[in-house]
Homo-oligomer: A and B are copies of this chain.
Amino acid sequence: MAPRDTVESPMRRPTIADVAELAQTSRGTVSFVINNRPGVATATRERVLRAMRELNWTPNRTARALSTSRAYAIGFILARDAMALSSDPFFAPFIAGMETRLDESGHFLMLRFANSHESERAAYLRLMEQRRVDGFVLSDLTQDDYRFDLLAEHSFPAVTLNVADRSTRLPSVSRSDEPGVAATVQHLIELGHRRIAYVGGPFHYLHVARRRATWEATLRDSGIEPGPAIASDFTASGGSAATAQLLDLPKNERPTAIVFANDLMAASGMSYALNRGLRVPEDLSITGYDDFELAAFLSPSLTTVRTDPTAWGAAAVDHLLALINGDDPSDLALPPPTLITRDSTGPAPQ
């Protein structure tokens, strides 16, 4: 007679009940052990731990999520199109910074790119309604941002990147860009420039408006009339077009230096100027913002402002998790970014 094997249902993943049985205790106790809560005798705790190891069991997060009504994930929704995104050197390191902290706390990141306002709104709603995240990190704040009301209606926690333009109960994690822009403009003034133009992004973004305002204020403080300012779009093609527009000005209005709101526009604008036969920095000084990887390797290398998106991402997550855990974190200001002087800026032409 063939031996009768104990027939195990194939591949069934062990559950907390299996662990409890092996450790000769109840499921409740196992739960207490893994969440290390008091009230479990040392001997029992060790039996449970041994059983866990033996069965190679890890708690099923879905079940836990249902039970605790926590998702153990946070949402990050970007309303930019993918192309703009891939060339924006901010997000990848920012996300990586977030993940270092998420990893430690066992959370995951739900990322979504939205290419329209409607799909952005829909993504927030779905994530909230389906309870798939515990909170959000809000970037790209705009004037009177609709997301504040949206999240408030569902009483969802979130942290904002930079401070909002109106009062909100959401804490912010910000890195002021005023000092970086001010330092850039100051640097150009010291080099003797007097016609300093600005090429920014869409002004409904708060940080865009703020940087532009800083450029203007710094010039006025030095008694210099601000040169032309152009609202561009952060893209390479926008940078070229804006530069063309500036260089087409009559000679006595034409800027001798251009402050760009990001490196991509700066690099593109610089190429355009070189193509037109201008020398950089002898005829035209150029500055960027971000210190993207190529900045140091362009010809000439690009004077720019280095931010630290990784640290920012980590701080944002720390703050958000604290908020989710019921703490009441205040606004947090990170140290300002620093100006990196390279070869694309030089003394103003005579």
Listed in ascending order, the chain A residues whose CB lies under 8 Å from chain B are: 11, 13, 58-63, 65-66, 69, 71, 73, 81-83, 85-87, 89-93, 95-97, 99, 103, 108-113, 115, 119, 123, 126-127, 129-132, 155, 235-237, 239-240, 264, 267-268, 270-272, 274-275, 292-294, 296-299, 310
Given contacts A83-B93, A237-B297, A297-B267, contact A109 B108 (CB under 8 A): no
12 A-B pairs with C-beta separation under 8 A: A62-B131, A73-B110, A81-B96, A86-B89, A87-B89, A95-B113, A103-B112, A103-B123, A111-B111, A235-B293, A239-B297, A271-B297
- Among B82, B109, B299, which residue has its beta carbon within 8 angstroms of that of A274? B299
Contact A131 B268 (CB under 8 A): no
On whether the beta carbons of B99 and A112 are closer than 8 Å, the reply is yes
Instruction: Report the nearest B residue to A98, measured CB to CB.
Output: B113
A99 CB contacts on chain B under 8 angstroms = 112-113
Closest to A106 in B: B126
Q: Identify the 4 closest CB pairs spanning chains A and B, nearest first.
A: A82-B96, A86-B92, A271-B299, A268-B297
The SS class assigned to the A binding surface is: helix
Please name the residue on chain B nearest to A269 by beta carbon.
B297
- Closest chain B CB from A282 CB (angstroms): 15
Q: Which of A83, A97, A235, A310 has the most CB of B within 10 A?
A: A83
Cα separation A65 to B155 with both chains bound (whole Å): 24
CB distance from A196 to the nearest CB of B (A): 22
**B residues in contact with A126, CB < 8 Å:** 58
* A99 nearest in chain B by CB position: B113
Bound-complex Cα distance A235 to B294 (A) = 9
A340, chain B: closest CB distance, angstroms: 15
Pairwise interchain contact B130-A61, C-beta atoms closer than 8 A: yes
Shortest distance between the CB of A35 and any CB in chain B (Å): 15
Q: Which of B89, B119, B267 contacts A103 (CB 8 A)?
A: B119
Contact among B60, B65, B83, B93 for A293, CB-based, below 8 A: B83
The chain B residue with its CB closest to the CB of A100 is B115
Nearest chain-B residue to A86 (Cβ)?
B92
Measured between beta carbons, the chain B residues less than 8 angstroms from A59 are 130
Closest to A267 in B: B294
Contacts of A108 in B (CB 8 A): 110, 112, 127, 132
Measured CA separation A278–B220 after assembly (Å): 42
Nearest B residue (CB) for A69: B62
Contact flag A293-B129 (CB < 8 Å), given A66-B66, A96-B115? no
Q: Which of B58, B96, B155, B239 contacts A113 (CB 8 A)?
A: B96
